Amino acid sequence: MQSKCETDVRRLADCAVIEIRGEVDGSAAAVLSAAYDGAVADGSPTCVLLDFARVDYINSTGIALIVSVLARARAEGRQVIASGLSDHYRQIFVITRLSDFIQLYDDVESAAAGVGAAG
Amino acid sequence: MAYDERVLVSFSVPSEPGNERLALARVADAVSGCGLSSDQVDRLKTAVAEATMNAIEHGNHNQPDVDVDVTVAALDDGVAVSIVDRGGAHAPAPDAGVELPDLDMKLAGLQTPRGWGLFLIQNMVDAMDVSIDGDLHTVRLVMRSQPTPRPRDPEGGPRAEQV
């Protein structure tokens, strides 16, 4: 199945921002993995921000991909935060307990401010 | 039958990965005007998507020439969605000791990152019923139109009753 997920990666202070667009499902595995590789390529980001503001669909296999990203980041000593989730997907992050490990923000700006405040 | 039901729409989708999106869109369209809140519609869409994915993958083994059949019915107090595949007893009963997804274990590499589908379904709808008749495997999801509290967490949140 062809992925309907696209990403852009940019840097915001110590945070690598992965802006995700489209659908986060199992077919997005290669796209998300490549985005993460690119985001941490220089080894320096202490934080990875997943921005879901332009994501319109996440399913259980997409949740599994997010778990994999989180596991990899934690193994590398990086914090993962997220922004732009709809109320519904925030609810799913809560019931899966992803929100126990991924701080949720309304948007990229508030996430950046939150990380800056924490740092 | 516990409820007076009126069929709103019945349709089929070929068993190809991704076709759960077709099912959830048609279900969402069918239940508009049934008194569900937007939050309830979002939860029902996620449950329908997950149940349809299971039907496509585990029930019909991704065979495009085998359909998943979906029926949406209005109840006195909500809606019911039935999703039927040809997998017979492919899926264990919801209370048959299926390993619950545990994020701590997944992050520790002790569970596969996958395995969230049934968990999501149970947390999204008010009731879920699985029945088997020969090779027909049916998952029936119920969302009641009166407000239902949002699930809060895997330990304490309300889960779908299993009929």
Query: According to the model, what pLDDT value does residue A102 have?
Result: 98
Rounded Cα distance between A112 and A101, Å, is 17
Cβ-contact B82, B65 below 8 angstroms: no
pLDDT of amino acid A115: 80
Evaluate whether B113 touches A65 at the Cβ level (below 8 Å): yes
Give the separation between CA B110 and CA B103, rounded to whole angstroms.
10
Higher pLDDT, B144 or B3: B144
SS3 assignment, position B139: strand
State the total domains in chain A.
Answer: 1
**What is the predicted pLDDT for the residue at B135?**
94
Q: What is the pLDDT of residue B72?
A: 98
**Is residue A30 domain-resident?**
yes
Q: Is the pLDDT of residue A11 over 50?
A: yes
pLDDT in tens, A12-61: 988 999 999 999 999 999 999 999 999 999 888 999 999 999 999 999 99
Output the DSSP codes for A9-76: EEEETTEEEEEEEEEESGGGHHHHHHHHHHHTTTS--SEEEEEEEEEEEE-HHHHHHHHHHHHHHHHT
Q: Domain boundaries in chain B?
A: 6-145
CB within 8 Å: B46 and A70:
no
Pairing of β A79-83 and β A103-105: parallel
Band (pLDDT 50/70/90 cuts) for residue B155 is: low
The pLDDT value given to residue A114: 83
pLDDT in tens, A82-109: 999 999 999 999 999 999 999 999 999 9
Both structure tokens of B67: 């359909």
Instruction: Give residue B156's pLDDT band: very low, low, confident or very high (50, 70, 90).
Output: very low
Q: Tokens representing A52?
A: 């879901």
More confident position, B133 or B96: B133
Check A97 against B153: CB less than 8 A apart: yes
pLDDT score, position A71: 97
Which of A4, A25, A87, A96 is best to mutate for the B interface (most B CBs within 10 A)? A96
Q: B55 burial class (0-12, 13-18, 19+ CB within 10 angstroms)?
A: buried
**Size of the A and B interface in Cβ pairs below 8 Å:** 80
How far is it, in rounded angstroms, from Cα B44 to Cα B50?
10
Whether A25 is in a domain gets the answer yes
- CA nearest neighbour of B20 among A88, A57, A6: A57
Q: What is the ipTM of this complex?
A: 0.90
In the predicted structure, residue B97 carries a pLDDT above the cut 90 = no
| Interval B105-121 mean pLDDT | 95
Q: Quick check: B158 pLDDT over 60?
A: no
Search chain B and give the residue with CA nearest A102: B103
Stronger pLDDT, B49 or B97, i.e. the higher one:
B49
Here the CATH number for the domain that contains residue A62 is 3.30.750.24
| Inter-chain residue contact B107 with A101, CB threshold 8 Å | yes
A75: containing domain:
5-109
Q: How many C-beta neighbours within 10 Å does residue A64 have?
A: 21
Best of B48, B114, B121, B143 to disrupt the A interface (most A CBs within 10 Å) is B114
Angle at B142 (CA atoms; ends B137, B146), nearest 5 degrees:
180
pLDDT-based confidence at A118, cuts 50/70/90? Answer: low
Is A68 contained in some domain? yes
Q: Does some domain include residue A49?
A: yes
Mean pLDDT of chain B: 88
Closest CA to B128 of B44, B38, B30, B57: B44
Tell the CATH superfamily of the B6-145 domain: Histidine kinase-like ATPase, C-terminal domain (3.30.565.10)
